[in-house]
Amino acid sequence: MEVHFAQRRGALAAGLVTVACVLLAGCSATGSKAGIGTPPAIIYKNDTTPLMVKRGDAGEGHFPPVAVPANLAAGESTAYSFALNIPGIPGGSLMSFGWGDMSTERAQSNGNLDEVLFADASEMKILGIFTRTKVKAYGHPKAPQLAGAEAE
């Protein structure tokens, strides 16, 4: 009887660990599924990874050289999520909220970029509860007269 109880307790603990790890550190909790995912961190994470490089007309799987201008400009876009992913609280992931626009288009607009040459993605996560994900796009700045004409 004792062995049976110990087995059940062990299985329950193992299950909780699995659920906690998946919720806190798994792919679904990282926020950024593009580019390369850095190793997950359960307590605190703040890192930046490559997201994209401009793909030319050379075809799939081949990236032509990308010349970076001296006046390289940058734009950011941000999204947030808040989730009660606390180990031991069943259904915690159901109590989650997400908002924001971290699209490359938004970053391009915020940075007033004419063309995005490459982009990075950064993620700041605290205990899997609060996550801030940013896209940082880099590229050619818009010419002043062109930017003015679009504003009109």
Partner 1 sequence: MRSGFRLAACVFSLVAATLVSGCVIAPVMPPRGLIYTDQKAPLFPGGEDGSKVGKSSAHSVLFLVGWGDSGMKKAMENGGIQEIRHSDYRVENYFLFYQRYTTIVYGE
Residues near partner 1 (CB under 8 A) are: 3, 6-7, 10-11, 14-15, 17-18, 21-22, 25-27, 30, 32-50, 52-53, 58, 61-68, 70, 74, 118-122, 136, 138
Q: Smallest distance from the beta carbon of 92 to partner 1, in angstroms? A: 18
Residue 61: DSSP 8-state = T
Question: Among 84, 103, 102, 104, which residue's Cα sits nearest to residue 94?
Answer: 84
Q: Smallest distance from the beta carbon of 144 to partner 1, in angstroms? A: 24
* Distance separating alpha carbons of residues 127 and 139, to the nearest angstrom: 34
Q: Smallest distance from the beta carbon of 151 to partner 1, in angstroms? A: 28
Number of CB atoms found within 10 A of residue 127's CB: 16
Q: Are 104 and 89 in contact (CB under 8 A)?
A: no
Which is nearer to partner 1, 12 or 149 (by Cβ)? Answer: 12
Which is nearer to partner 1, 42 or 86 (by Cβ)? Answer: 42
